[in-house]
Structure 1
Amino acid sequence: MNTSASDPVTDAPTKAAPIIEAQGIDKLYESFQALYDIDLQVMDGEFVALVGPSGCGKTSLLKILAGFEQPSRGSLEIQGKSVVGLPPSQRPTRMVFQKLALFPHKTVRDNIAFPLKLAQVSRAEQDARVAEMMDLMHLPSAYATRYPAQLSGGEQQRVALARSMVSRPSVLLLDEPLSALDVKLKKVLQTEIKHLHRTIGTSFVHVTHDLEEAMMLADRICVMRHGRILQNGSPTDIYYRPADAFIAGFIGETNLIPVQMDGAAFDNPALRCADPTLDEAQFSPGHAGTSGLLMIRPELIVMRTEAPDAAEVDCVMEGSVEEFFIKGSSIQYRIAVEGLREPMIVDVQGTATPPATVAQKVWLSFQRRDLYLLGEG
């Protein structure tokens, strides 16, 4: 039986309404403008990450969603109702800050139950919901009587997440809650946040500087710069089909090869391709003119220590190893190519014996379909 909603006239499935809809949001702090004409939709149950360099406006936008700041212009609806002017306590949102702000004089149980106590929920229901959240966040029941100072940083973070979720908000807002944790613990909590999102189905909006974290957790990524959203799309789109060269370089390391264009044909003396043309889908929307930058991600390049047969590869470049870095599961090579100002970056699978050393001649090959043309601006 099909239970999806449909339009009574066309009998076509209706599009779900966004749980958050921001339109034309500006934010001014005296003479400084932090946000410009922000449009953002977050769907029910969606995980959206806001990324960008420091000062790009992502935390200002998050605080406006939470109600800790008000927009200077624009509209903001949550669950179809305007929340402009409403304080945080009157919104169906909860926020987890980088600084956890747990009550040091309250036990874990009382910290988690605090929002329920404010809402005058019965003690029996408080206890049931606290137990449910502690179980979900892998906090042993014996921890209920401990105080924050008796917990590790990761355990305190779990308590903060449990407190934010115990009142069952429609939207959870996270402002870099994992940034102060060590790498191993961060990986554990990233997994738990992903599991939490899948389990409870709440919409998440997550501000982070950690681009790998955004790629791992989010259904959709919004890249911000100078108070504007530059691109809004799936992690795969953002990574392999960025809107411009800034996003290409910001979302992970990449290679940008300058080329001259003649229609769909590209040319650079350092790059030899059996068919030097691009399909329509390989042009970024922002590209225009007779020149551009061909993007190829480091993991899509094969490094060879012998010249490949021309019939084996689409595109090939020759160079020599400038430097390499052993990263454990992978080895990153930087290859100097004559005619290119910047070395090519190549990631190869980690091994106990690096396949090439400094100054060694190598050949780089890749598929033409993995190229993407960006504008030079």
Structure 2
Amino acid sequence: MATMAGDTILEIRNLKKSFGAYQALKGVSLSVQQGEFIALVGPSGCGKTTLLKHIAGFEEPDSGTLAIGGQPMLGVPAAARPTSMVFQKLALFPHMTVADNIGFPLKLRKVDPATIATRVEEMIELMQLKREYLTRYPRQLSGGEQQRVALARSMISEPKLLLLDEPLSALDVKLKKVLQAELKRLHRSVGVTFVHVTHDLEEAIMLADRICVMRSGEILQVGGPNDIYYRPADSFVAGFIGDTNLLHVDVKGGAVSAPGLSAADPHVPAPYVAPGLGDGPALLMVRPELITPLGAGERADFILDVTITEIFCKGGTVQFRSSLANGAPLIFELPGASTQPANIGDSVRLGFPKRDIYLFRERAAA
């Protein structure tokens, strides 16, 4: 993780944008710190790409403010902003060599050719590209190499903010993993602030210092990957970031109860309860990897009896889908092994500790 200076590099306040009757942004506010890697995630149409375009200067808001490095950016054209953007389709110039592609932003600024050549060499080294690629054309490179060239071009002008609009989405899984690691290395080595739009939730958790979850033009939650994953703001965030289990429970005096759920002490400590949650219906969240099958005589803070309905081998892990007595689904995952601990149709007793749950109120659908 990059070291953060603690200074706010991007400040967005109450940003609103409509396209006709459609509200793309509904009063979005977000602060990003110098050197931070923040990922914008959410379903299609949630406003994350629209927000990125406002930061870049490709869109102007109907109202609200946006400042970069303390300087107001409303009305400032994209070319004059201290930002650089890597697009999903890369937009490399096919008629230019790699060297010319990378150096193009400096050429536009009328930087002298010798300085451009030096900076291009630095970018090639930073992106771990071979020097002989400088005279090649984009079509002569692999998809991963083209991606690195696009990143080099975006970094050569030393932007304050690097904006990434799903640049890895078109790559095959293996290459994507390689370039995700490269993005992490690049961010750590240069210390530039990254704002990354992605549909890949695993990618967001793996790369970002903080994740901003959006829906219907609003920000639902901003937090570290661990907070988003284990302490979601509501059921939408919980279900959007990875597989999870949401059990309908009743809360009374800090204790939870539900059909089929047994507990020696049903009281849940405050750290595992969403702020402001009182008595009444609630959701108990527990992630699949935190649930453990119990042997004869074994105990746990919470216990459920389920029937296995489906099994999926995922290589390093095995996912078991099951149902409770009332038909509600429940997923649990175990480390992969040469022998399978349960089969379809088996009845299994499962347990999980209080420290691995989170209670919150269900959010109404948008």
Provide TM-score, normalisation by structure 1.
0.93
Deviations 1:60-81 (A, max 9, x none): 0000000000111001110111
* Residues 155-164 or 359-368, more deviating: 359-368
2:338 counterpart (327, 349, 352): 352
Aligned residue pairs: how many?
359
Structure 2: gaps (5+ residues): none
2:323 counterpart (336, 357, 361): 336
**Partner SS for 2:334:** strand
**Partner SS for 1:85:** coil
**Partner SS for 2:309:** strand
Aligned residue identity for 1:169: P
Q: Which residue of 2 aligns with 1:318?
A: 305
Q: Which residue of 2 aligns with 1:8?
A: none
Q: Which residue of 2 aligns with 1:365?
A: 351
**Partner SS for 1:276:** coil
Is 1:246 aligned to 2:236, yes or no?
A: yes
- Structure 2 Cα separation of the partners of residues 147 and 43 of structure 1: 37
Q: CA deviation at 1:263?
A: 1.5
Q: CA deviation at 1:133?
A: 1.0
Aligned residue identity for 1:233: G
Is 1:285 aligned to 2:289, yes or no?
A: no
Q: CA deviation at 1:286?
A: 6.1
Q: Which residue of 2 aligns with 1:7?
A: none
**Partner SS for 1:272:** coil
Aligned residue identity for 2:350: L
- Structure 1 Cα separation of the partners of residues 208 and 240 of structure 2: 17
Please show how residues 251-266 of structure 1 align to structure 2 within 5 Å: 251-266=241-256
- Structure 2 Cα separation of the partners of residues 308 and 64 of structure 1: 59
Q: CA deviation at 1:271?
A: 1.2
Q: Which residue of 2 aligns with 1:71?
A: 61
Percent of matched pairs sharing the same residue:
56
**Partner SS for 1:273:** coil
Contact 1:97 1:175 in 2 (8 A): yes
Q: CA deviation at 1:285?
A: 3.1
Q: CA deviation at 1:288?
A: 4.3
Q: Which residue of 2 aligns with 1:9?
A: none
1:22 counterpart (12, 18, 41): 12
Aligned residue identity for 2:320: Y
Q: CA deviation at 1:318?
A: 1.2
Please show how residues 1-377 of structure 1 align to structure 2 within 5 Å: 16-285=6-275, 287-304=277-294, 306-310=295-299, 313-339=300-326, 341-377=327-363
* Residues 286-295 or 183-192, more deviating: 286-295
Deviations 1:334-369 (A, max 9, x none): 121112x43211110011222111111211111112
Provide TM-score, normalisation by structure 2.
0.96
Aligned residue identity for 1:315: F
Deviations 1:219-242 (A, max 9, x none): 011100000000011111110000
Contact 1:292 1:374 in 2 (8 A): yes
Contact 1:331 1:348 in 2 (8 A): yes
* RMSD (Å), alpha carbons: 1.2
Deviations 1:307-335 (A, max 9, x none): 3423xx22211112111100101000012
Aligned residue identity for 2:42: G
Aligned residue identity for 2:208: A
Q: CA deviation at 1:131?
A: 1.1
Aligned residue identity for 2:235: A
Contact 2:254 2:279 in 1 (8 A): no
- Structure 2 Cα separation of the partners of residues 375 and 308 of structure 1: 34
* Residues 55-64 or 344-353, more deviating: 344-353
Aligned residue identity for 1:332: Q
Aligned residue identity for 1:237: D
